[in-house]
Amino acid sequence: MSLKTFTLNNGQTIPSLGFGTWELDKEEICVPAVAQALETGYRVIDTAARYMNEAFVGKALAESGLKREHYHLTTKVWVTDFGYEQTLRAFDKSLKKLGLEYVDLYLLHWPVEGFRRSWKALEKLQDEGLTKAIGVCNFEIDHLEALAASSNSKPVLNQVETHPLFQQRTLFEYMTEQEILLEAWSPLGRGDATLLTNPVLLEIAKAHGKDVGQIILRWHLQRGSLAIPRSSKPSRVESNFQIYDFALTDQQMASITALDTNQRSAGDPKDPEWIAKLMSMPIPD
Ligand SMILES: NC(=O)c1ccc[n+]([C@@H]2O[C@H](COP(=O)([O-])OP(=O)(O)OC[C@H]3O[C@@H](n4cnc5c(N)ncnc54)[C@H](OP(=O)(O)O)[C@@H]3O)[C@@H](O)[C@H]2O)c1
């Protein structure tokens, strides 16, 4: 099946659905899950130094037999490795663990102190062809503005928590104006029951003969954002990919938009306690 793609602000394209690997940190779970995702047709794989599974992701990629140019690998620099030299060293470690010669996208994981210096390192890595594109995660509008004020380059995307109960509408509008793609993390709300058993979503699912996960992922796609759902269950890895054979009506899209509660379920990038917690979690060697 050919995947619809999004065009990034640097002219590159990226498939419109990806596979997340957070918490797939055991080899016997991660390798088969990524292998199955690749077999199913996912061509964007999202990892991070923090997930401590880059070696397993790299193993699954190597064993897939796919040509390097036929998939898109994202990894991220962790907050305790921010700073110019530290970020370059962290990237080198990630690349070795992945067993790759380059990555497709390298992201700043959270907007903590020092992100501008790390961004300079990302620019250098991009200039050297070691990453094809660079971007950020969990940036609010003022972080994006601060980055723009101190740099001539723009993130191609910003990976942020987004799902029907937390739609990031103001940020999304700003990023659309700035031509920065929204990549949705926790696109299924981490499997939260209040989302997956929501009556509005259940009714839409019934009308299309689909499950709620597929309806949510189709909503992300039609909205113009790249979702990276994660699953360790083969049947869900497969079903979450089956979103290209139907379309939500304008009315159904509007009904889902009306579900927004504007309540995030995970860490707030503006919360100093949350940031302090992240900074207290260096990655062991
Ligand atoms: N940049 C960041 O700061 C950041 C933060 C968080 C996540 N991420 C990235 O975003 C990816 C996705 O986010 P996420 O892993 O937090 O959450 P998610 O993809 O929204 O949800 C994953 C959870 O939902 C369950 N699930 C998957 N498909 C389902 C379906 N069709 N029906 C019901 N339950 C389903 C999974 O359980 P089973 O395994 O049992 O199927 C898992 O517990 C991550 O894996 C990671 O790559 C990035």
Is residue 227's pLDDT more than 90?
yes
Closest approach atom of ligand 1 to CA 137: 1
Identify the band that residue 251 occupies on the pLDDT scale cut at 50, 70 and 90: very high
| Distance (Å) from CA 126 to ligand 1 centroid | 28
Residue-wise pLDDT tens digits, 148-180: 999 999 999 999 999 999 999 999 999 999 999
Residue-wise pLDDT tens digits, 12-30: 999 999 999 999 999 999 9
Is residue 3's pLDDT more than 80?
no
pLDDT for the residue 284: 87
Rounded mean pLDDT of 185-198?
96
Residue-wise pLDDT tens digits, 33-88: 999 999 999 999 999 999 999 999 999 999 999 999 999 999 999 999 999 999 99
Burial 254-280 (b: 16+ CB within 10 A, else e): ebbeebeeeebeeeebeeeeebeebee
Rounded mean pLDDT of 216-224?
98
Q: Which of 51, 71, 106, 244 is catalytic?
A: 51
What whole-number percentage of the chain has pLDDT above 90?
97
Is residue 255's pLDDT more than 60?
yes
Q: For ligand 1, which residues put their CB under 6 angstroms from it?
A: 20-22, 46, 109, 137-138, 159, 185-191, 196, 213, 228-233, 236, 239-240
Is residue 1's pLDDT more than 50?
no
pLDDT for the residue 266: 86
The whole model's pTM is what?
0.98
Candidate of 79, 115, 186 to mutate for ligand 1, largest count of ligand atoms within 8 Å of Cβ: 186
| Distance (Å) from CA 229 to ligand 1 centroid | 5
Return mean pLDDT, the chain: 97
Residue-wise pLDDT tens digits, 99-120: 999 999 999 999 999 999 999 9
Q: Catalytic annotation on 106?
A: no
Is residue 199's pLDDT more than 70?
yes
| Distance (Å) from CA 213 to ligand 1 centroid | 11
Identify the band that residue 285 occupies on the pLDDT scale cut at 50, 70 and 90: confident
Of the candidates 56, 74, 66, 54, the one whose C-alpha atom is nearest the C-alpha of residue 14 is 74
pLDDT for the residue 26: 97
End-to-end CA distance of the chain: 40
| Distance (Å) from CA 204 to ligand 1 centroid | 21
- What's the length of the chain? 285
pLDDT for the residue 279: 96
Burial group, residue 34, by CB count within 10 angstroms (0-12, 13-18, 19+): buried
pLDDT for the residue 271: 96
Which residue has the CA at smallest separation from atom 47 of ligand 1? 20
- CATH assignment of 5-279, given 3.60.9.10, 3.20.20.100, 1.20.1250.20, 3.30.420.140? 3.20.20.100
Of the candidates 142, 174, 133, 181, the one whose C-alpha atom is nearest the C-alpha of residue 159 is 181
